[in-house]
């Protein structure tokens, strides 16, 4: 088996062109798509997340890495779909009611997709009922709530309550994040998890499904 | 240096204003409601906020036009799109009416909300949106334009270019809240690099708003001062918000905020004010503190008086 570390590196470095060509080469020499995903792409995004947390990487590096990841995934997905390989999970993600910020939310969507999830992006200013309806319709296991304003954090609590009222609370894991959100707040409102940044959201989502981060 | 700016800073630091969003919320702006449309639907409230800052001592007040660019409105208040020029112009008009001859009106231009790097929007589209807004504001009589809360230097440069085409003075400020030391923009650029880039882009005043509390501003200010001789604009948060009983609460008191003024002025700021969490009380305290500082001539050379 050829050394595929350059594939991992190309994602970390945000080199979409190399990620694509290395993926092509790997597939051509018989590599398994699921192995490429789990052994090289997912660890690459974990490393990107680590560097973001260490403040070595900023938003541009995250975006470029997500783009490189996507370039590789575009080649893997058709094969995985053909083989009936399901996405590792389904997530419904949005910015809560009253809040219009979407940069963080968009990063989470990109990274979750890169991590093998099927993601339904509900956009911004999403009312609790819409999160509930989408989670139900798409049979999602993960619900991601983002907020950038302190004043809209209460919408997160309302959204969790809406899931409870709808009888769906136990069927989903609700994760929260955003600049003003804290672990303490997440605990207070009964969220299942809190991610300090977009890369951590992916690790958290995988953990919720019982997968290794 | 632009003569308007030179005249303003000639006798010492200039006090700008405080937060608008929270003041409008106190007056009934709902959660998630787009503040800028209140220029049309609740003009008396907007004017009241402007007036409260003039009365607190602001020499420069801004306008309720932070989000009134085509890209942001297209996403979040589509129905208001056709009124984009009116929203901007009424914003200026309301601030001017409140300011009378006591204060100048620097019109606010905020970010588009979209990241250039993501490809969701092109530089041409961003420039066009800022151009439209800048001219609406200048045509309504804004004394200057303030490009604020920028997290991406590339977007800031486009905004500055658009604003400069009006021939009004242009203030450009960035937000620093990322990185290990919370001294980078979200895109990873430094105060030094951004100050240099904005100076090159032709901004008349350069600075920092939001992101950090007032305690952290003198150090950030010094870093910009070290690389440029252009007047500096510092508009700090009154601390960082905490959620108490479901409401945002800023722990820095007006007195605490004002206490940092000597350090901020010493660090090289010509324009000082408050951002999130600040109120007319904060501005009033700051006004009193600034008044108590020894009167100094501006340390900057106004240069030749050319526009």
B-chain CB neighbours of A64 within 8 Å are 117
Q: Which of A82, A101, A136 is the last residue of a domain?
A: A82
Residues A201 and A103 in one domain: yes
Residues A106 and A36 in one domain: no
Q: How far is B12 from chain A (nearest CA, A)?
A: 35
How many other CB atoms are there within 10 angstroms of residue A100's CB atom? 19
Range B219-248 average pLDDT: 88
Q: Which of A41, A57, A82 is the last residue of a domain?
A: A82
Give me A210's structure tokens: 């019982």
For the cut 90, the answer to whether the pLDDT of residue B195 exceeds it is: yes
Q: Which domain holds residue A117?
A: 89-208
Chain A to chain B, count of Cβ pairs less than 8 Å apart? Answer: 67
Residues A78 and A93 in one domain: no
For the cut 90, the answer to whether the pLDDT of residue B299 exceeds it is: no
User: Residue A80's pLDDT is what?
Assistant: 81
Greatest alpha-carbon span in chain B: 55
The residue of chain A with its CA nearest to that of B179 is A55
Residues A199 and A98 in one domain: yes
Residues A108 and A61 in one domain: no
Instruction: Please count the structural domains in chain A.
Output: 2
What SS3 state is found at B249? strand
Within-domain flag for B298: no
CB contact under 8 A, B31 and A125: no
For the cut 80, the answer to whether the pLDDT of residue A151 exceeds it is: no
Q: Which of A58, A82, A106 is the last residue of a domain?
A: A82
Q: Which residue has the higher pLDDT, B247 or B179?
A: B179
Give the model's confidence band at B103: pLDDT under 50 very low, under 70 low, under 90 confident, else very high.
very high
B-chain CB neighbours of A125 within 8 Å are 32, 76
What SS3 state is found at B219? helix
A-chain CB neighbours of B179 within 8 Å are 55, 58
Residues B14/B106, Cβ–Cβ less than 8 Å: no
Within-domain flag for A167: yes
Give dist(CA A178, CA A156) in Å, integer.
11
Within-domain flag for B307: no
Residues A94 and A77 in one domain: no
Within-domain flag for B73: yes
Give dist(CA A133, CA A131) in Å, integer.
6
Give A130-135 contacts, CB < 8 A, sequence gap 24+.
A130/A94, A131/A92, A131/A94, A131/A159, A131/A162, A131/A163, A132/A159, A132/A162, A132/A163, A132/A166, A132/A168, A134/A92, A135/A92, A135/A163, A135/A168, A135/A171, A135/A172
Task: Identify which of B32, B177, B248 has the shortest CB distance to residue A97.
Answer: B32
CB contact under 8 A, A153 and B242: no
Q: How far is B272 from chain A (nearest CA, A)?
A: 24
% of chain B residues with pLDDT over 90: 76
A-chain CB neighbours of B174 within 8 Å are none
Residues A78 and A125 in one domain: no
Q: How far is A157 from chain B (nearest CA, A)?
A: 10
Range B160-185 average pLDDT: 95
Q: Report pLDDT digits (tens) over B48-61.
A: 999 999 999 999 99
Within-domain flag for B94: yes
B243 touches chain A (CB under 8 A): yes
CB contact under 8 A, B184 and A58: yes
For the cut 50, the answer to whether the pLDDT of residue B306 exceeds it is: no
For the cut 70, the answer to whether the pLDDT of residue B97 exceeds it is: yes
Q: Which domain holds residue B223?
A: 3-292
Burial class (CB in 10 A: 0-12, 13-18, 19+), A28: exposed
Q: Report pLDDT digits (tens) over A119-148.
A: 999 998 899 999 999 999 999 999 999 998
Task: Identify which of B113, B185, B248 has the shortest CB distance to residue A150.
Answer: B248
Helix axes A42-53, A5-13, angle to 10 degrees: 40
Here the CATH number for the domain that contains residue B201 is 3.20.20.330
Q: Report pLDDT digits (tens) over A180-190.
A: 788 988 999 99
Give the model's confidence band at B246: pLDDT under 50 very low, under 70 low, under 90 confident, else very high.
low
Mean of the per-residue pLDDT values for chain A?
Answer: 89
Within-domain flag for A114: yes
Range B224-238 average pLDDT: 96
Q: Report pLDDT digits (tens) over A53-102.
A: 788 899 899 888 888 988 998 899 888 878 777 788 999 999 999 887 87
For the cut 90, the answer to whether the pLDDT of residue B75 exceeds it is: no
Within-domain flag for B305: no
Here the CATH number for the domain that contains residue A64 is 1.10.1240.10
CB contact under 8 A, B179 and A58: yes
Within-domain flag for B306: no
Here the CATH number for the domain that contains residue A193 is 3.40.50.280
User: Residue B305's pLDDT is what?
Assistant: 36
For the cut 70, the answer to whether the pLDDT of residue B104 exceeds it is: yes
* B contact residues 12-71, partner A, Cβ 8 Å cutoff: 25, 31-32
Instruction: Please count the structural domains in chain B.
Output: 1
For the cut 90, the answer to whether the pLDDT of residue A3 exceeds it is: no
Within-domain flag for A213: no
B117 touches chain A (CB under 8 A): yes
Give the model's confidence band at A168: pLDDT under 50 very low, under 70 low, under 90 confident, else very high.
very high
B212 touches chain A (CB under 8 A): no
């Amino acid at each position: 088996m050829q050394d595929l570390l350059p594939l991992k590196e190309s994602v970390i470095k945000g080199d979409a062109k190399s990620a694509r060509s290395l993926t092509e080469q790997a597939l051509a020499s018989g590599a398994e798509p699921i192995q490429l995903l789990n052994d090289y792409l997912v660890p690459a995004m974990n490393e990107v997340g680590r560097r973001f947390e260490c403040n070595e990487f900023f938003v541009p590096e995250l975006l470029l890495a997500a783009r490189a990841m996507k370039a590789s995934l575009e080649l893997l997905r058709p094969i995985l779909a053909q083989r009936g390989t399901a996405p590792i999970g389904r997530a419904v993600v949005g910015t809560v009611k009253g809040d219009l910020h979407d940069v963080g939310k968009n990063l989470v969507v990109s990274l979750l997709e890169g991590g093998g999830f099927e993601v339904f992006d509900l956009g911004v200013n999403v009312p609790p009922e819409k999160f509930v309806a989408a989670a139900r319709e798409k049979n999602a296991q993960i619900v991601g709530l983002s907020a950038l304003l302190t004043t809209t954090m209460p919408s997160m609590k309302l959204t969790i309550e809406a899931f409870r009222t709808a009888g769906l609370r136990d069927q989903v894991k609700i994760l929260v994040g955003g600049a003003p959100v804290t672990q303490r707040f997440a605990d207070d409102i009964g969220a299942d998890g809190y991610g300090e940044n977009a890369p951590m959201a992916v690790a958290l989502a995988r953990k919720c499904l019982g997968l290794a981060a | 240096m632009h003569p308007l700016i030179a005249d303003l800073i000639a006798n010492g630091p200039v006090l700008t204003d405080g937060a608008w969003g929270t003041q409008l919320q106190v007056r009934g702006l709902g959660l998630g409601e787009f503040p800028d449309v209140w220029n049309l639907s609740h003009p008396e409230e907007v004017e009241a906020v402007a007036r409260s800052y003039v009365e607190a001592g602001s020499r420069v007040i801004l306008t309720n036009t932070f989000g009134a660019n085509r890209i942001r409105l297209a996403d979040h208040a589509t129905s208001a799109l056709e009124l984009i020029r009116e929203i901007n112009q009424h914003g200026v008009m309301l601030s001017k009416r409140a300011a009378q001859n006591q204060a100048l009106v620097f019109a606010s231009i905020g970010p588009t909300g979209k990241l250039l790097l993501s490809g969701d929007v092109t530089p041409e589209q961003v420039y066009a949106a800022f151009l439209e807004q800048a001219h609406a504001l200048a045509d309504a009589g804004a004394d200057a334009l303030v490009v604020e809360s920028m997290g991406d230097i590339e977007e800031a440069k486009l905004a500055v270019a658009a604003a400069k085409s009006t021939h009004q003075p242009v203030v450009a400020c960035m937000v620093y809240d990322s990185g290990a030391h919370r001294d980078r923009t979200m895109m990873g650029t430094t105060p030094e690099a951004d100050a240099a880039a904005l100076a090159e882009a032709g901004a008349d005043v350069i600075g920092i708003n939001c992101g950090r509390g007032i305690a952290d501003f003198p150090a950030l200010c010094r870093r910009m001062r070290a690389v440029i001789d252009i007047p500096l604009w510092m508009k700090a948060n009154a601390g960082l918000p905490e959620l108490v009983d479901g409401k945002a609460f800023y722990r820095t008191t007006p007195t605490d905020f004002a206490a940092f003024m000597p350090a901020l002025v010493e660090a090289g700021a010509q324009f000082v004010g408050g951002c999130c969490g600040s109120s007319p009380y904060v501005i009033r305290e700051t006004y009193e503190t600034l008044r108590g500082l020894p009167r100094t001539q501006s340390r900057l050379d106004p240069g030749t008086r050319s526009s």
